[in-house]
Amino acid sequence: MHPGLMTEESLHTRDLVELENQYGAHNYNPLDVVIERAQGVWVYDIEGNRYLDCLAAYSAVNQGHCHPKILKAMIEQARKVTLTSRAFRNDQLPLLYKELHELTGYDMALPMNTGAEAVETAIKTARKWGYKVKGIPEDKAEVIVCFNNFHGRTVTEVSFSTNAQYRDGFGPFTPGFKVIPFGDAQALEDAITPHTCAFLVEPIQGEAGIILPPQGYLKRAAEICRENRFLLLADEIQSGFGRTGKLFAYMHEGIKPDVLIVGKALSGGFYPVSAVLSSWEIMRLFEPGDHGSTFGGNPLGCAVARAALRVLTEEKLVERSAELGAYFLGLLQTLHSRDLKDVRGKGLWIGIELLSPARPYCEALKEEQILCKETHDRVLRISPPLVITRNEIDWAFERMSRVIENLSVRWLCG
């Protein structure tokens, strides 16, 4: 049938997958589940099947899907005003600034939309600081980054990616980055030059497969930054807002990065909202016209973010993540399978590393009504919305153990 003749009611999963494949760029390889609605930890496909979401849109929906309080804030704001541009002021942005300050302790924020834009903004911040404050000669600033990093998909961000596919065909690349191994403080010291303006790092590497650095690494990195006078930029776009059992992952080490990059759960999944947070000393370097975004700081996004932050606090989601994460990790660490290499995590952010590709496990878990996504081929990332209950974890664990134990038998025998 010609797609134009289809009525919405007649569309099945197969039809929509075909439409998507025909008319959309194939820059993703999604599981063939077509989600139509969602609530809390549960999503529903167009055939009415229910699944437990163990990805939470890469931690953008920490507050759970379609949280009623965020929804209410969004609808109410959408009725009033959605976009003013920063040419004028709006009544939501100052309140979001103040609430972010009260929640995080950072003096000031610069609002953007996507995570990638916030990382770009942080890099611009660090370079500006390098030239204006540290006195690095023009165009010489260097940012140190880590092997296996993920900071987004802009040309500059893939310029310092160590994933060949992320770079292939996208050059020429932005200069000024130096890659060192993750978790190795000595490597950071060795990479410093007089032109170093920043160290950009994920406190726990997410896309790389939930890689936890050795304890004390971040603390030592923060000291090295301070002693050698360059900025620590923490990318907490995925690890932030409770995912690891603390408000931010850097808090596990009792440090405070000079620049904090947030996104994803800042909006509870309703709308792209990101921000760069820092001190007055650093943020004051931005002058009118230096940087901007048409949608950044818009009243709709700000109202959504304010509600998303309120939900995080009111529902004690950070504490939930710590407690239920430890519980879930404990269960998963009892799994027995010869295909299991490692089960690790922090808070409700768990990586199950396998000896074989993880994709067949994702497909099998989908049949058991659990949605998760492989990362880096051999890691299953388990990161449900933080509103998940103990009962739901038990429910998920029972299915996961069945899948992991059965599949590994098949793999080892086949």
Ligand X SMILES: *Cc1c(COP(=O)(O)O)cnc(C)c1O
| Residue 83 CA: distances (Å) to CA of 61, 217, 288, 311 | 23, 42, 19, 24
Nearer to ligand X, 255 or 393 (CB): 255
Residue showing the smallest CB distance to ligand X in the complex:
115
Nearer to ligand X, 116 or 322 (CB): 116
Phi, psi of 219 (to 5 degrees): -65, -45
CB of 115 to ligand X, least distance (A): 2
The Cα 19–Cα 381 span in angstroms is: 28
Asked if residue 332 lies in contact with residue 343, where contact means CB atoms within 8 angstroms, the answer is: yes
CB of 206 to ligand X, least distance (A): 5
The Cα 352–Cα 345 span in angstroms is: 9
71: Cβ contacts below 8 Å, ≥ 6 apart: 270
CB of 405 to ligand X, least distance (A): 30
268: Cβ contacts below 8 Å, ≥ 6 apart: 60, 61, 62, 63, 64, 67, 70, 304, 307, 308, 311
Three-state SS string over 296-326 comes to CCCHHHHHHHHHHHHHHHHCCHHHHHHHHHH
Q: How many residues are there in the chain? A: 414
Nearer to ligand X, 16 or 57 (CB): 57
Q: Is 150 a catalytic residue?
A: yes
Catalytic choice (53, 128, 150, 248): 150
Q: Is 199 a catalytic residue?
A: no
Nearer to ligand X, 129 or 271 (CB): 271
Asked if residue 162 lies in contact with residue 124, where contact means CB atoms within 8 angstroms, the answer is: no
CB of 136 to ligand X, least distance (A): 25
| DSSP secondary structure code for residue 175 in this structure | P
Contact set with ligand X (CB under 6 A): 58, 114-116, 119, 150-152, 202, 206, 235, 237-238, 263
| Helices 359-367 and 390-413, packing angle to 10 deg | 130
Nearer to ligand X, 202 or 253 (CB): 202
Q: Which of 291, 279, 286 is nearest to 132 (CA)?
A: 286
Catalytic choice (128, 199, 248, 264): 264
CB of 123 to ligand X, least distance (A): 12
Token reading at 238:
């995925």
The Cα 182–Cα 382 span in angstroms is: 22
Nearer to ligand X, 237 or 380 (CB): 237
> Which residue reads 């776009």 in tokens?
237
Q: Is 235 a catalytic residue?
A: yes
Q: Which of 95, 58, 407 is nearest to 243 (CA)?
A: 58
Nearer to ligand X, 122 or 307 (CB): 122
Catalytic choice (184, 235, 258, 339): 235
Tell me the catalytic residues. Answer: 150, 235, 264
